[in-house]
Amino acid sequence: MSDHDHPHERHGHGSHHGHEHAEAPAFLPHWMQHRWTVITVGGAGLFLAIGFIGERLFGLPPSVALVCYVAAYVCGGFDVAREALPAVFRGKFDTDLLMLAAAAGAAALGKWPEGAFLLFLFSLGHAGEHYALGRARNAIGALGELMPRTARLKRGERIEEVPVEQLAVGDVVVVRPGDRVPSDGTIAAGESSLDQSAITGESVPVSRKPGDDVFAGTINKENALDVKVTRLARDNTLARVMRLVAEAQEQQSPTQRFAERFTRRFVPAVLGATVLVIVVPPLLRHWTWADSFYRGMLLLVAASPCALAIGTPAAVLAGIAQAARHGVLVKGGVHLENLGRLRTIAFDKTGTLTTGKFAVTHIVSLDGMTETDVLRTAAAVEEQSNHPLAAAIVEAAHHRGVRFPRASAVENLPGKGMRARVEEAPVVIGAWRAFEEGANGIPVRGQVRQLEEAGQTVVVVQRAEKFAGLIGLADQPREHTERVLARLHDQGIARRIMLTGDNTSVARAVASRVGIDEFRAELLPEKKLTVIRDLQAQHGPIAMVGDGVNDAPALAAATVGIAMGGAGTAVALETADVALMGDDLTKLPFAVGLSRASQRIIKQNLAIALGVIGLLILAAFACAIPLSVAVVFHEGSTVAVALNALRLLAWNDPA
């Protein structure tokens, strides 16, 4: 959104050092109000140019040139004065007041061109800063443009186009190919692929079928879909993301707070020093009153910390915006900075390093049975269970084309397994503890232990009171987990630790597969919290990566809590400091890299701002530069830090 669209918006400095974009006077025509900043900045430059060039090259009378300079003062200083002067009466001193004082001092010295030049560049710099911060905010605000204004609502056999605000939970909407999904919902009919990049950062469309969740603002690519609304427009994922990012932009990072405290104390100190520079040397007969006053004005310009005030918030806003555009929600500047300080990251296992879905990896046949016989018998019983292991066994049977009969007399054995009849034969399926009491001496126990030591969860199949076979299942690592962990190591994350409630054998096997050297096993959620606190005490800042549900205490206790699956998980959005919206672990190195790039930009901006202030103060005391040059350096440094911060909007992980 451009400056002339909303002239009353908060200025680039915003709350960071007190200057706001003033509203245009109400008596002006509408077109002037909408172009107020362009008119004031352009007018200051135009009148300055007419007075300066006309007087020196075209013989413009001094009195006419003075009128032009006064007009440049009014255009360049009007908004600044309307904000800075009332603030003085509230006891608030900021850099705007320094600039006004310097411009007034230049006029008192008769140096009207220098004063007009100062106000022109200062107002131009403010407009540039406003543009820079606006670009960062608009990178997120553009998400709002993704939200459709209307939806095609099904009413019986008719389809009506209605505003999305009128949709109710349970309504069914039709989403044609090329349309954006109007509300969060579940596919009721149809299959298609959807472009979810605006919400999750996924680079390729994802396939969706009946029963799958879809998000408002995503694009239907192929076939028409019927979508059942599950959230109101104000509560959908896109709206929540925009709301949380807006809140994040208002939260200050540690460096921002330092810059604000510095500015709050520094501005009164500069005003006091200026008074001393003006008064003391003439009293001691070192300088004339005119020289002393001129050096005081130089000091006002030289010491104004505009670049310091804008450099950090601009970088933080740009970093948060770029993260959100790539499917990473960072909920504040403090978390963005903390990400860059990390040297230790702890990972939950299930659902984070692994998919959280079990798959059959081993089948051991016994007593003359074949692997197909074992799987057929197990699937017949497990088809009637909703346990994740049961679902994995049935899926494996379907995948291998194994046809199985329907079990009868199915009975649940709490904590152990299931009992049933398959083709009139009694069958018991379950964990080893369902059988071990009467089977201590048989070789099966050794085979079970061997599979468990390899990281398998073992289901024992007994048919007609004889052991028919063993089925080993394992939670599968995410596809790119090993590469992600290696990339984090390259980024300086020296300690990568897996935390899991599984037994040590399973934990060791998974850690070995994904390339993690350190793990803690058999942890309840409250124990994970203790481990996080211990690691934090030993190694400093630590991140915890989890699914945002049973890991909530550990996520809250870590320096940075990072939740997986943020797009569909309300708990993740509310609990964590950072949410990987696409449930995509590969976004973690991107987030860490972006944070470190943000830190580098912030440090560069601090160096530029403090370096220029220091050099200009020395030059002011030595009277080595004229006021106009001090103004150019001062405003140049402010624009430089704003443009430097905008580089983050183009940052991408180089790996």
Least confident of 5-14, 137-146, 312-321: 5-14
Query: Would you say residue 422 has pLDDT above 80?
Result: yes
Identify the CATH number of the domain in which residue 221 sits: 2.70.150.10
Residues with active-site annotation: 348
Whole-angstrom distance, CA of residue 484 vs CA of residue 365: 37
Does residue 430 sit in the same domain as residue 455? yes
- Give the rounded distance of the alpha carbon of 256 from its chain centre: 17
Please compute Rg for the chain using Cα positions: 34
Does residue 275 sit in the same domain as residue 288? yes
Domain-located, residue 320: no
Q: What is the mean pLDDT of residues 637-648?
A: 88
Whole-angstrom distance, CA of residue 535 vs CA of residue 221: 46
CA separation, residue 28 to residues 10, 23, 24, 174, 319 (Å): 20, 11, 7, 47, 38
Q: How far is the first Cα of the chain from the last one, in angstroms, to the nearest whole number?
A: 33
pLDDT value, residue 69 = 92
pLDDT value, residue 129 = 62
- Give the rounded distance of the alpha carbon of 72 from its chain centre: 42
Does residue 57 sit in the same domain as residue 105? yes
Query: Would you say residue 627 has pLDDT above 80?
Result: no
What's the pLDDT band for 4 if we cut at 50, 70, 90?
A: very low
Q: Are 218 and 199 in contact (CB under 8 A)?
A: yes
Last-in-domain residue among 179, 196, 231: 231
Least confident of 130-139, 320-329, 388-397: 130-139
Does residue 118 sit in the same domain as residue 261? yes
Domain-located, residue 2: no
Of 302, 238, 104, 108, give the one whose Cα is nearest residue 581: 238
Query: Would you say residue 346 has pLDDT above 90?
Result: yes
Last-in-domain residue among 425, 443, 477: 477
The pLDDT mean for the chain works out to 81
Q: Are 473 and 392 in contact (CB under 8 A)?
A: yes
Q: Above pLDDT 70, what percent of the chain?
A: 85
Last-in-domain residue among 434, 457, 477: 477
Q: What is the mean pLDDT of residues 82-90?
A: 76
What is the per-residue pLDDT across 491-546, written as a single tens digit (0 to 9) for each?
999 999 999 877 788 888 888 888 888 999 877 667 888 899 999 999 999 999 98
- Give the rounded distance of the alpha carbon of 82 from its chain centre: 35
Q: What is the mean pLDDT of residues 598-613?
A: 92
Does residue 362 sit in the same domain as residue 452? yes
Q: Which amino acid is at 29?
A: P
Whole-angstrom distance, CA of residue 136 vs CA of residue 318: 5
Domain-located, residue 147: no
Identify the CATH number of the domain in which residue 459 sits: 3.40.1110.10
Q: Which residues contact 71 (CB under 8 A, 6 or more apart)?
A: 43, 47
401-418: string of b/e by CB count within 10 Å (b at 16+)? ebebeebeebeeeeeebb
> What is the chain's length?
655
Q: Are 44 and 72 in contact (CB under 8 A)?
A: yes
Domains held by the chain: number: 4
306-317: string of b/e by CB count within 10 Å (b at 16+)? bbbbbbbbbbbb
Q: 99 versus 375: which is more confidently predicted?
A: 375
What's the pLDDT band for 643 if we cut at 50, 70, 90?
A: confident
pLDDT value, residue 292 = 85
What is the per-residue pLDDT across 211-253, written as a single tens digit (0 to 9) for each?
988 888 888 888 899 999 998 887 776 676 666 666 655 666 6
Whole-angstrom distance, CA of residue 536 vs CA of residue 544: 11
Does residue 383 sit in the same domain as residue 264? no
What's the pLDDT band for 396 if we cut at 50, 70, 90?
A: very high
Q: What is the mean pLDDT of residues 467-492?
A: 90
Number of other residues whose CB lies within 10 A of the CB of residue 51:
24
Tokens coding 645: 């911060």
Ramachandran quadrant class, 228 (left: phi over 0; alpha: psi -120 to 50; beta: rest) = beta
What's the pLDDT band for 298 if we cut at 50, 70, 90?
A: confident
Q: Which amino acid is at 317?
A: L
Q: Are 655 and 480 in contact (CB under 8 A)?
A: no
Whole-angstrom distance, CA of residue 512 vs CA of residue 479: 15
pLDDT value, residue 46 = 93
- Give the rounded distance of the alpha carbon of 111 from its chain centre: 48
Domain-located, residue 238: no
Number of other residues whose CB lies within 10 A of the CB of residue 443:
10
Query: Would you say residue 301 has pLDDT above 50?
Result: yes
Look up the domain containing 440 and give its range: 357-477
Does residue 449 sit in the same domain as residue 395? yes
What's the pLDDT band for 385 if we cut at 50, 70, 90?
A: confident
Whole-angstrom distance, CA of residue 4 vs CA of residue 392: 59
Does residue 369 sit in the same domain as residue 447? yes
Query: Would you say residue 145 has pLDDT above 80?
Result: no
Does residue 448 sit in the same domain as residue 585? no
Does residue 256 sit in the same domain as residue 132? yes
Domain-located, residue 598: no
Least confident of 18-27, 123-132, 139-148, 441-450: 18-27
pLDDT value, residue 507 = 84
Domain-located, residue 205: yes
Whole-angstrom distance, CA of residue 288 vs CA of residue 160: 82
Tokens coding 375: 């799987």
Domain-located, residue 427: yes
Query: Would you say residue 2 has pLDDT above 70?
Result: no
Q: Which residues contact 473 (CB under 8 A, 6 or more apart)?
A: 358, 359, 360, 361, 389, 392, 393, 456, 457, 458, 459
Place of tokens 């107002």: 123
DSSP 28: S
Does residue 50 sit in the same domain as residue 114? yes
Does residue 483 sit in the same domain as residue 583? yes
Domain-located, residue 242: no
Identify the CATH number of the domain in which residue 340 sits: 3.40.50.1000
Query: Would you say residue 608 has pLDDT above 90?
Result: yes
